[in-house]
Amino acid sequence: MLKLNSCIQLSKFILTLTLLVFFAKNVSADVRTAQNYLNKLGYDAGSADGMWGPKTETALKQFLNDNGKSWDGKFDKSEFGLLTATIKKKGLLEEIVDFGWNIPERPKTKPNDATLAHYLKKDILEGKGIRRDVTGIPSITISGSRSPRKLRYADQTDTNVEKELNKTALISYLYYENGVVINDQISPSNRFGSVFDSKTRLIGNSISKSVVAYLAIHAICDGYIPNLDHELSDWPLLKDTLYGSATLREVMDMRSGDQKFMEYKGGIKGSRFGNPHDRTIKSIMENELSGSTPSAKKFNYNNLNLNVAFNYVIYKTGNDFNRFASRVFQNHIGIEHPVVFVGKYRDDLTRETATRANGGASAHFFASRHDYLRFAIAMLDDWEKNECVGKHLKDILGNSQRKGEKPGSGPFANFRGYSSFFHTEFIGFPRRKVLGMDGYGGQMIWIDFAERKIVATNAIHLNYNWKKIVANKIKG
């Protein structure tokens, strides 16, 4: 019987493979785009999954017949060209709008789906070490764990989330409560779901800051750094600069006193090469910040603080950094897929090659959607165990300081407090034990430690109703 079942399964596999080969032959043009075009023109090609099958072929035959053409058994530039011309003639072709490197938070032109897909693909390529057609960008990669943290699922659908996934730039939504993933929902395949899968590394943007804070806590608990209030004066690269007298906590609180030199939410003042992500710590300290002294320790949000903290952790862990990071991500968090900090080749000003020795690492973090959740679950477990890492998380929440900002439309401005690269004191429930992570473009992770809740989202652009599906979900 076992042998018969095996034969049946093998026959099914061969039949499936044969069909795939049959329908895939003579196909050279972009199938997914063709499927989208056919569907927009009213021909049912099924989901735009990029797989050539009988449904797609039938739709193409009908389209060709309606346009006085016959199917010759091939789908190439001729058929694709006719499809494209028809789409353009009917005004159904969405042109990609070039907003620059990122879609602005409040763009003058609403980004269409083609533009959103373009930016999603750009970010995914960067997570693979490809930026502006330059390949092999130096990166720090940590492989997935041999024993990844297991997740339990309830497989429930939140209709409010489903609506947002069907009409906005939200691409992934995960809601976790009391040990179970209640909602695991992604953008449908006819929007952005066909562009990525569960293994795809998605951009974290400023969630990277919280990841670095978590690494710093582990570096303290593992004995590499004395404590959060330790001065960074033991790092030679910071000598005779304002950061040399700052503590690790002040840097991660965004209160290093750097406001004379760093723009709020911006780059280095007065510099032609002001983006900290494109510079090494050594270059910035020797050029723009040499001899600098700190101003009043007020909140001044910028990415130089992030890269100082990240490179300081690398400096303090030394040659052990890779093993240290692997212990955190593989053994403690239990990631399933590789995570990566995407770096740079050289400093834009000096053209010096970026290395760990000159503080050239960039905390530009990418991970799969479920591994972002695993990161948050690990923090929830740390809190409950109340050991070294958990005690530091409680210390961070307990030492929150007000940003001094007026409430605004986005989550950043609705968290009144900030502490060690985490957002705190959300206006809707300021006394709750909640830490927020907020990345540009709608990346969010919110953790309610008391209620054992987590919401994790990934998006291309923040145009979804985050108050309804994130804040209200945590509020309960």
pLDDT tens digit string along 90-115? 777 778 899 998 999 999 989 999 89
In a domain, 365, yes or no: yes
Candidates 124, 121, 122, 41; CA nearest to 79 is: 41
SS3 470: helix
pLDDT band at 11 (very low <50, low <70, confident <90, very high): low
333 and 197 assigned to the same domain: yes
What number is the average pLDDT over the span 217-231? 98
Residue 70 pLDDT level (bands cut at 50, 70, 90): confident
Considering the domain architecture, whether residues 270 and 342 belong to the same structural domain is answered as yes
Sheet containing 365-367, strands listed edge to edge, beginning at the edge strand earlier in sequence: 139-142, 339-342, 365-367, 202-203
Give the model's pLDDT for residue 461. Answer: 97
Same domain, 160 and 280: yes
Are 381 and 233 members of one domain? yes
| Domain match, 55 and 187 both | no
CA distances from 362 to 63, 140, 356, 372, 425 (A): 50, 9, 10, 19, 28
Span of 193-197, 322-326, 454-458 with lowest mean pLDDT: 193-197
Residues 200 and 58 reside in one and the same domain: no
Mean pLDDT, rounded, for 325-337? 98
Stated length of the chain: 476
Beta bridge partners of 459: 170
Mean pLDDT of the chain: 91
pLDDT at 76: 83
Which is higher by pLDDT, 433 or 74? 433
d(CA 264, CA 302): 6
Q: Is residue 467's pLDDT more than 50?
A: yes
| pLDDT for residue 81 is more than 50 | yes
Q: pLDDT tens digits, residue range 16-35?
A: 444 444 444 445 447 878 88
Distance from the first to the final alpha carbon of the chain: 53
Question: What is the reported pLDDT for 49?
Answer: 72
Determine the pLDDT at residue 25.
44
Question: Distance (Å, rounded) from C-alpha 468 to C-alpha 10?
Answer: 49
Domain at 304, CATH number: 3.40.710.10
Q: Domain count of the chain?
A: 2
2 found inside a domain: no
If asked whether residues 351 and 207 sit together in one domain, one would say yes
* More confident site: 378 or 24: 378
Residue 200 reports pLDDT greater than 80: yes
Pick the residue with more confidence: 4 or 450? 450
Residue 338 sits in which domain range?
138-476
| Backbone angles phi and psi of 134, in degrees to 5 | -90, 125
At 15, the pLDDT band (50, 70, 90 cuts) reads: very low
In a domain, 113, yes or no: no
Query: 475 and 356 in one domain?
Result: yes
* Residues 85 and 149 both lie in one domain: no
Domain end: 71, 89, 107, which one?
A: 89
Q: Clarify whether residues 57 and 197 are in a common domain.
A: no
Is the same domain home to 50 and 180?
no
pLDDT computed for residue 18 by the predictor: 44
Is the pLDDT at 359 greater than 90? The verdict is yes
H or E segment and range at residue 411: helix 411-414
162 & 258 share domain: yes
